[in-house]
């Protein structure tokens, strides 16, 4: 896997050693990042991902050492290091070098990583209901795309894999559906698309927002609302939206098998048509 990194004005390859045991980000988790995609020579919503990085940094008290527009240009420059049309993950990141508990804003460092990774095939996957919950905004920095939130997702994934599933539906603090461990969640019922309303426990994903807009423009009703576990279990279709895989079907939830349905298929078609300029 080819990977390159923009560090201090230079492009480096591989996995360069950049942090030490005294780096604040290593022992106090002062790391925010964002993830975008490149494929077929396209970078859908890359500007919005760069803007969200800056907002995440502010949440952590980090100093946005480069404006979103400059982050965007650096990411685009990185594309030239790969074959035209390569499937890439684009990951700009900000973290603190110094501080004690609180990060020292002036020590903030910027890195932009691009590496080769294919888009997942839309073959469907299985999910279970996790016993773990997403924290409330009063408990964790859930309004940022922050590395410190991912160990919670990792334990949900481990639990799911131990049960024979590929991903996990994580609930919010009140026991309602929040998202998957790795992506936002959708269900279809009676010809309409439904997705959990952002309530401070998970990010209102950029791909989720784009999918909702495209479905509405196509005349498909979209409801952002509180969704119970039972409603999800009884759904006509379940699918996901997220940067890494874009729009993917879920074909099993707990002991119930599902088929990719017409609303999922339309959502995926609309997204990739839009990404290709349609």
Give CATH 3.20.10.10 domain extents, the chain. Answer: 125-275
Distance CA 57, CA 188 (A): 35
> In the chain, what is the straight-line distance between the N-terminal and C-terminal CA atoms, in Å?
31
User: Which regions of 124-231 does DSSP assign to beta strands (E)?
Assistant: 125-133, 167-171, 177-180, 184-189, 192-196, 222-225
Angle between helices 206-217 and 262-275 (to 10 degrees): 110
pLDDT of residue 278: 64
> Is the CATH number of domain 125-275 3.40.50.10860?
no
Provide block-wise average pLDDT over 10 residues at a time, the chain (278 residues): 96 96 97 98 98 98 97 98 97 98 97 98 97 96 97 98 98 97 98 97 97 98 98 98 97 98 98 93
Give CATH 3.30.470.10 domain extents, the chain. Answer: 3-116
**Cβ contacts of 230 within 8 Å, gap of 6 or more:** none
User: Which CATH entry fits the domain spanning 3-116: 3.30.470.10, 1.10.645.10, 2.40.160.60, 1.10.3720.10?
Assistant: 3.30.470.10
DSSP structure class, residue 198: P
Q: With 0-12 CB in 10 A as exposed, 13-18 as middle and 19+ as buried, what is 104?
A: middle
């Amino acid at each position: 896997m080819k990977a390159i990194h923009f560090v201090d004005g230079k492009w480096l390859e591989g996995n360069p050693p950049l942090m030490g045991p005294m780096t604040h980000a290593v022992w106090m988790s002062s790391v925010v990042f964002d993830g975008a995609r490149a494929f077929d020579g396209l970078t859908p919503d890359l500007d919005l991902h760069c803007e969200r990085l800056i907002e995440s940094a502010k949440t952590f008290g980090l100093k946005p050492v480069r404006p979103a527009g400059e982050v965007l240009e650096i990411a685009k420059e990185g594309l030239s290091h790969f074959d035209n049309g390569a499937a890439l993950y684009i990951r700009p990141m900000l973290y603190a070098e110094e501080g004690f508990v609180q990060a020292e804003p002036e020590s903030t460092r910027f890195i932009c990583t691009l590496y080769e990774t294919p888009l997942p095939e839309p073959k469907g996957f299985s999910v279970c209901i996790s016993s773990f919950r997403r924290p409330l905004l009063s408990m964790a920095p859930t309004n940022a795309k922050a590395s410190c939130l991912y160990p919670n997702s990792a334990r949900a994934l481990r639990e799911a894999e131990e049960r024979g599933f590929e991903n996990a539906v994580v609930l919010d603090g009140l026991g309602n559906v929040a998202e998957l461990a790795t992506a936002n969640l959708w269900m279809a019922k009676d010809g309409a698309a439904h997705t959990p309303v952002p309530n401070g426990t998970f990010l209102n994903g950029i791909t989720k927002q784009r999918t909702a807009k495209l479905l509405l423009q196509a005349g498909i009703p979209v409801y952002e609302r509180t969704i119970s576990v039972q409603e999800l279990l009884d759904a006509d279709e379940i699918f996901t939206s997220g940067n890494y895989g874009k729009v993917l079907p879920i074909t099993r939830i707990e002991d119930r098998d599902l088929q990719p349905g017409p609303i999922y298929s339309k959502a995926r078609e609309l997204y990739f048509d839009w990404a290709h300029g349609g």
